[in-house]
Amino acid sequence: MRIKKKEKLASKSDYAQALKMFKDGQPLTDVAIELDIDATTVMSYYEDYLKLLNMGRLVTIYHEVKDDLPIFIRLYGRIKKEGLSKSQIVEFLKTPNRLLDLKKRVDLFY
């Protein structure tokens, strides 16, 4: 019976086979090698797989920040280490604007 399942999967498109391999936890490199497809195609298939898992928002965010991902990861780690709440983070992000406002006030007095 296991052979029939493999034969059935082998008759599927590379796309379907890749989705099955992702579902089975296979690394992207193994998918590319096994199916003999290029990295760009594997990444595209993997994005679709994540979207099917309702992780489309994560894919979108990744595309927006991919070059800055290490910075975001460090920032997240620091936030966790410091135990900052959401409201504290929001207040912290407002600080540069407040500093600029204070600088303008100081400049007005001098």
Q: Ramachandran region of residue 40, left (φ > 0), alpha (ψ -120 to 50) or beta?
A: alpha
Architecture of domain 1-54: Orthogonal Bundle (1.10)
Domain segments of the chain: what residues? Answer: 1-54, 69-110
First to last CA, the chain: 86
pTM: 0.54
Q: Ramachandran region of residue 103, left (φ > 0), alpha (ψ -120 to 50) or beta?
A: alpha
Per-residue pLDDT band for 33 (boundaries 50, 70, 90) equals very high
pLDDT at residue 35 tops 90? yes
pLDDT tens digits, 19-32 = 999 999 999 999 99
